[in-house]
Chain A
């Protein structure tokens, strides 16, 4: 599609059409402003069936599996998954499949420094980053889960209250200023939640009044029905405390329809990640369509921003390259010009663009980087997974992937010592934990024991894990015995996920690789990632102990696998396993890429001010989870949306 430059030029140029970019485009377009979006990836397909077919035929159903560019091809001995060389792709991105190939730049888009630690308990040990993102129209919300919680007031004043990390600008006041935008964000996304459970939850954090969004508020839609699995936890966990905080289950506010409306009602496809087949779950394409329908927003696809031009200290244009096919040559270049500029390209590509823009006089370290904070403080919610089998059937693999969580332990006095977490209750059995249903099936068909169900495994409580004591180890089943065994396993599978907060570490950072490029000739991200603080590692210790107690309270048998001792040398060192206080932990990514262009109170320690405006260039804004000073304790998307709505107001105020 060709772009028509409006008579007065564009008011705003936005890089990226995910949830943040689309929200800003819609808010500005609604207000009559002329907006141009540059999107690096392809347009939204005419039918999501295109993406569904790619998902159905993918051998590994990872979060990225439905989306272009395809990450799996014909395997070979050195490349079993057939992963393409990122150097051959115009918009490569990091994927979960690349984690195990983290030290191999011929398969992994991110370039990692070699492992220099020699002990698995060395805090200086480096890891593969656990989370991935998309470069397509609509962005990474294509494969978000839908969890729509807001952060807690104390999340915004972690330093003041607990002496950890940093505060958000203004501390607890930040929460107050964000409340109306949180409220608006629930409407933008279309959050389904009952009000009372939120009121009950927030009371425990001394948050008044009327729940968390002020008086007379109710969510756009009633809460999503909890699963049978949730009911088991609801009944049993209230007997437990963690660090003197009582546990209780809270139904999760979710960005998916509990009623038919503008989108279809959730049909429980159990596939929110990687793709909702019926768009009952919100994704960025919803707001992108609304933005385009204003008539004031235009978008140019397959357009990769590669340089930000400055004139003095103002941004004067964004250079881009275009392409047609993923492996074809660049087809052109240009410069997009507007009065204001917004970077909304997620927390890896945004700092990469800023750092690439290093040819402007006075800004040798890149645009908006006088503080030297661009690309630093990369964070995720590092996840601890625990899984087990319930005594009675709870019928896993049904409903949305998660419908409830344990939120009551997200804040407390313990935060002077250890990271907080929320506990997500999974409905998808061991799909995430062991790659089920594949693994259990293979174990009982071929006589393997990768699930610990079919061998001599014993868990850490000394319980034998062989599922059927009447069978020998490594049984190979068929027929009715196979049916009965598989059924009895699958319908009992439980999974807990702990979203452990990570602290900002200036050395956890995105830089430009000096050696490796993508097919457009742009440098690839070089990523250094550690978990240095005992504060965060203590979160794992707590999560592990809590899981064991919860499964005991449920009368369930714990199957959480103790990871193999991490390998630090050789060609494939362990990507995400470390040792701490005598235990071995594997962490997983939550999909939350946070912190690489943070907000703050001071131009010397942050990239953006509280308006999400660059300290260095007043006509440049940045949005998305990259602005977060800390991870806080909620999944980030509702906060991302709220902050984008707030930034849109700030830009409108600027434009007058």
Chain B
């Protein structure tokens, strides 16, 4: 029996470029990962989410099943030949970064299309990794103190290795 949450975490680490400590901290009162796994399952048709996680599991097992090499395995899935799955993986990246589920409208215009998204919850908004990749805080939810904006923030790595 595949531990879906475990491999969802490993997949998410590989896709987002953040560490396991940020995606699924050992002490995790917010537990956004559970919300996102549910969204991932709900938004995709015909059990596609679990199918993707199983594919990740299989590739991981083929390498010995250790938790590591997540980015390479995620990359292998992204270079797959089934467009709907590749899109779903990209939608999952966006979900982690923005706390919102995207709808991608592709066309042949110079911009190649537009993306619209639906916020999952107030918590998912503030948990968005995008605020951390910019070494800042969610707009409207700062834990910093007066004047922090006049100094250089902590290094990016700190944001990649710690939960929000």
Contacts and interface: CB of A to CB of B under 8 A. Distances in A.
Contacts, number: 180
B136 A442 contact: no
B118 A56 contact: no
A615 B106 CA distance: 59
Contacts of A490: 133-134, 136
B122 A57 contact: yes
B5 interface: no
B29 interface: no
A58 B90 contact: no
Contacts of B18: 483
Interface in B90-135: 90, 93-94, 97-98, 100, 102, 104, 106, 110-119, 121-122, 125-126, 130-131, 133-135
Interface in A436-467: 437-439, 441-442, 445-450, 455, 457
Categorize the interface residue count of chain B.
35 or more
Interface string B17-46: 110000000000000000000000000000
Interface stretch (A169-177, A393-401, A570-578): A393-401
A448 B139 contact: no
B75 A479 contact: yes
Contacts of A428: 139
Interface string B42-71: 000000000000000000000000000001
Given A438-B115, A479-B71, A486-B134, 5 more contacts: A268-B148, A398-B137, A437-B134, A438-B98, A478-B16
Contact of A448 (B115, B151, B160): B115
B146 A268 contact: yes
A227 B146 CA distance: 11
B113 A448 contact: yes
B139 A397 contact: yes
Given A441-B98, A447-B112, A491 B134 contact: yes
B141 A269 contact: yes
Given A397-B136, A450-B111, A480-B71, A59 B118 contact: yes
B137 A441 contact: no
A226 B125 contact: no
Majority-rule SS of B interface residues? mixed
Contacts of A277: 140-141
B153 A395 contact: yes
Given A56-B122, A478-B74, A479-B16, A427 B149 contact: yes
Given A59-B119, A395-B152, A486 B130 contact: yes
Contact of A267 (B122, B130, B142): B142
B88 interface: no
Interface in A190-207: none
A258 to B, nearest CB: 7
B144 interface: yes
Contacts of B131: 397, 437
A80 B140 CA distance: 25
Contacts of B137: 269-270, 398
Given A80-B116, A225-B149, A395 B135 contact: yes
